[in-house]
Every structure is written in structure tokens, then in C-alpha cells.
């Protein structure tokens, strides 16, 4: 019963010596109120509806302009036992499971491995769907960044971070900053609402943590009137996200290799500089050190900085993935120059697994170059699989089918 009143105790939210009465010196329209956050709920639903319209009517023509095409996929032959194992137990059967399936299905190990590879490919999201998601995020981040920059560039705390704490917490809330907050909060709320149907990548759990931390960070910083530093955090994050989504858009297209490479390099540089250099040395330093010039530590101070530390931990995690992506990409280009046109089936399987396991925040944008390198081999392999599964004419089979093991 007393939980709600305790939640709003002023020593949780405000520095020592400051009370809610001091905050009431400002007009209702000039100070943040917790009930203002309710606006984010209909905004989140609105973003979900707007995204559906965007991906349904606007993304397809953009994709056609960039040459986005879905890859031709070979459908796995119907097999109730294999399908049951795939959906209920594992997408990657172990050696023990393979032997059991060989006995129960009357198939060779090669045939079962091929069936699972084809079945996994069927579940991969198509290029047009991935392009639609990247295009939607690109336009939001671009709009949010331009709007945020326009309402912050003439503010004194944009240039001097000590201004973030001048007269804190009795600071007037600008209408533009209020809507900047609500739109960002509504957008991340929409991402959580759609997280079960969106494309799942390797960093799925980290994305959930990121969205939750961002929502808590925005909500708390708004109620505690950390709006000035909060707007800087949002602007900093949107700057690199624009480049990431644009690189993914061109990656899904055809004939934009150099553009995609250039955008990825720029994104990697901007991400590493903003998230590993500017964020800890400017933003976190401002909240940890410069704020102490104005007030003493309190519960809200610790909670806010803990959330910023969580974000920084995710930045380090993603920075590691990006650096590994750059390393593998450069290594792949060197190997491609030395590699012959013929590759073994084991290498094909490794590439297939790599495509599934290496989906991350950057979406493995060099994946397309590997697919292009092996396109002729993939066409030949698919043709052979089809002939083996359907038992076509022996004349055709003699040219394509492989001996059973």
C-alpha cells in the first residue's frame, strides 16, 4: 500500500536540499511530470502502424530501385519425422541425433544434413523483409537526428556540458525537447512490441537489454529532469545508427558494393569514436564528475549512472563484434584472391553455418560478397540436390548426382 508513495520520495529523485515544492516553482508546462510519459504508449502503437504502412507501400519501390532481390531457395522435401525434430528439438542435429534419424527415416547422413540445411534456409528472412526493416530504422534515426540537432545546436549545454547542471533541477523544459523525448521513447517502445516478430539476430538478448535500458533511462531522466544530458545521449546514439542502417540497405541491393563498403567503414569509425571515446569521456564524465560541482550524490544519481554504464557495456560488446567483422571481412578478401573456384562441401557447410551464427548488430554486411563468390557452386549443388531428391532421369543423374555414403 505504501509502495507508490515511497517510490516518489524526493530523496530518491532530487539532490539533497531540493524538494518537490521547489520544482513546483515552474509552471506545469515548463517542468517534467511523470504522467507525461503516458503519451509514449499511443506513440508506440502509432509507430507500429506507421512502420506497417512504410514497409508495405514505401519500402518495396525503394528496394526495387536499389535492386533488392530475394534469393532463389530450394524447398526441403516433406518429411514429417525430420520436420518434427526440427521444430521441437533442434535446428542443428548432433552426430548422435543424426544416427537416430538415419535409422528412423531410412536416409543417409548426407541426405539428412542436406535436408536440415535446406530447411534452415527456408526460415531465413528474405532480402526484401530485411531491407524494409533497415529502411524503416534509417528514416527514423535520420529524422530523429536532424530534429534533435536542430533543437540542441543553439543550446548552451550542447557546447558546454557544465550547463547541463546549472540551476538543476529547477530547469525549464522546452516543448521541442519534450517531443524529442516522447518520440524516442515511443520508438523504442514500438521495437519492444515487435521484438517477437522482428528478425532475430545473434545479439537478440543484448538488443532486449538495450531497449529496456534505454526506456528506463529515458523515463527516469525525464522524471528527474535530466533532460539536458538525456538529449545529448539520444543525439549521440542516433548519429551512428543512421550509417549502420544505410549500409545495410545498400548491402541488400545489387550493384552498390563500393557504396556499402564506404558506409560500413564510416559507420565503424563513427561508432567507435562516439561510443568508446565521446560517450565515456564526455557524457559519463559529465554525469559522474561535473554534476558533483552542483549537488551531492543521491539515489537518482547512482541509478542514472548505472544505466549509462549498462549502455557502455553494450557499446563495448558491439564494438568487439564490429572489430571482428572488419577483421573477417579483410581476411575474407585476402583469401578470396588466393582461393580456387572449386570448394569442398565441408567449406560450403561452414559458410552456411557462418551465415546463421554471425548475424549481429551489423548484419554481417560482407555476407553478400561471399554469396556472390559461391553463386555458381551453389546453383550446381542445388541442382544436384533436386535431382537426388526427385530421382530424375538417369542421364541427368549421371551428370549431377553424387554417390551415396
Kindly report, residue by residue over 308-341, the tens digit of the pLDDT: 998 899 899 999 989 988 887 777 653 443 323 3
d(CA 214, CA 190): 13
For 85-93, which contacts have Cβ atoms below 8 Å and span 24 or more sequence positions?
86/116, 86/119, 91/116, 91/119, 91/120, 91/123, 92/116, 92/353
Read off the pLDDT band of 207 (50, 70, 90).
confident
d(CA 376, CA 382): 10
219-252 tens-digit pLDDT = 999 998 999 999 999 999 999 999 999 999 999 9
Is pLDDT above 90 for 348?
no
- Packing angle, helices 227-252 and 175-193, rounded to 10: 50
pLDDT top residue among 206 and 309: 309
Is pLDDT above 60 for 280?
yes
pLDDT for the residue numbered 368: 42
> What's the helix, strand, coil split of the chain in %, to 5?
75, 0, 25
| Mean per-residue pLDDT, 108-132 | 89
d(CA 161, CA 91): 51
Nearest to 295 by CA among 218, 220, 224, 217: 224
Question: Contact, 300 vs 225, CB < 8 A?
Answer: no
Is pLDDT above 60 for 161?
yes
pLDDT for the residue numbered 351: 39
Read off the pLDDT band of 352 (50, 70, 90).
very low
Is pLDDT above 50 for 362?
no
pTM (two decimals):
0.75
Read off the pLDDT band of 16 (50, 70, 90).
confident
Is pLDDT above 80 for 93?
yes
**CATH 1.10.10 residue ranges in the chain?**
80-123
pLDDT for the residue numbered 71: 78
Range name among 17-21, 75-79, 121-125, 370-374 with the lowest pLDDT average: 370-374
Angle at 265 between CA 370 and CA 240, to 5 degrees: 115
| Mean per-residue pLDDT, 349-375 | 40
Q: What integer best gives the mean pLDDT of the chain?
A: 81
Reported CATH class of domain 80-123 = mainly alpha
Is pLDDT above 70 for 303?
yes
Amino acid at each position: 500500500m505504501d509502495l507508490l508513495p515511497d517510490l516518489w520520495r524526493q530523496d530518491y529523485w532530487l539532490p539533497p536540499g531540493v524538494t518537490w515544492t521547489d520544482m513546483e516553482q515552474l509552471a506545469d508546462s515548463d517542468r517534467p511530470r511523470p504522467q507525461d510519459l503516458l503519451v509514449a504508449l499511443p506513440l508506440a502503437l502509432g509507430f507500429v502502424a506507421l512502420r506497417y504502412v512504410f514497409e508495405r507501400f514505401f519500402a518495396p519501390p525503394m528496394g526495387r530501385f536499389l535492386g533488392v532481390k530475394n534469393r532463389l531457395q530450394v524447398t526441403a522435401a516433406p518429411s514429417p519425422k525430420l520436420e518434427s525434430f526440427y521444430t521441437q528439438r533442434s535446428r542443428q542435429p548432433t552426430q548422435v541425433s543424426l544416427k537416430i534419424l538415419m535409422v528412423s527415416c531410412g536416409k543417409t547422413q548426407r541426405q539428412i544434413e542436406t535436408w536440415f540445411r535446406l530447411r534452415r534456409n527456408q526460415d531465413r528472412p528474405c532480402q526484401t523483409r530485411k531491407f524494409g526493416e533497415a529502411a524503416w530504422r534509417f528514416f527514423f534515426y535520420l529524422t530523429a537526428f536532424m530534429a534533435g540537432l536542430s533543437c540542441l545546436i543553439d543550446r548552451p549545454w550542447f557546447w558546454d556540458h557544465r550547463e547541463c547542471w546549472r540551476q538543476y533541477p529547477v530547469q525549464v523544459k522546452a516543448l521541442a525537447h519534450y517531443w524529442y523525448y516522447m518520440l524516442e521513447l515511443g520508438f523504442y517502445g514500438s521495437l519492444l512490441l515487435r521484438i517477437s516478430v522482428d528478425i532475430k539476430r545473434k545479439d537478440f538478448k543484448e538488443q532486449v537489454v538495450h531497449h529496456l535500458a534505454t526506456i528506463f533511462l529515458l523515463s527516469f531522466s525525464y522524471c528527474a529532469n535530466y533532460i539536458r544530458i538525456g538529449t545529448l545521449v539520444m543525439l549521440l546514439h542516433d548519429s551512428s545508427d543512421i550509417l549502420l542502417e544505410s549500409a545495410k540497405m545498400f548491402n541488400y541491393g545489387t550493384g552498390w558494393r563500393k557504396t556499402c563498403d564506404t558506409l560500413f567503414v564510416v559507420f565503424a569509425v563513427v561508432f567507435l569514436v562516439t561510443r568508446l571515446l565521446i560517450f565515456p569521456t564526455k557524457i559519463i564524465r559529465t554525469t559522474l564528475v561535473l554534476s558533483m560541482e552542483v549537488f551531492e550524490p543521491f539515489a537518482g544519481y547512482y541509478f542514472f549512472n548505472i544505466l549509462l554504464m549498462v549502455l557502455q557495456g553494450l557499446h563495448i560488446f558491439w564494438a568487439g563484434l564490429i572489430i571482428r567483422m572488419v577483421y573477417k571481412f579483410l581476411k575474407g578478401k585476402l583469401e578470396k584472391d588466393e582461393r580456387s573456384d572449386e570448394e569442398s562441401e565441408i567449406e560450403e557447410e561452414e559458410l552456411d553455418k557462418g551465415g546463421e551464427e554471425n548475424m549481429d548488430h551489423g548484419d554481417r554486411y560482407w555476407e553478400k560478397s561471399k554469396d556472390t563468390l559461391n553463386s555458381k557452386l551453389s546453383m550446381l549443388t542445388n541442382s544436384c540436390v533436386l535431382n537426388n531428391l526427385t530421382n530424375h532421369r538417369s542421364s541427368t543423374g549421371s551428370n549431377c548426382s553424387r554417390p551415396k555414403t
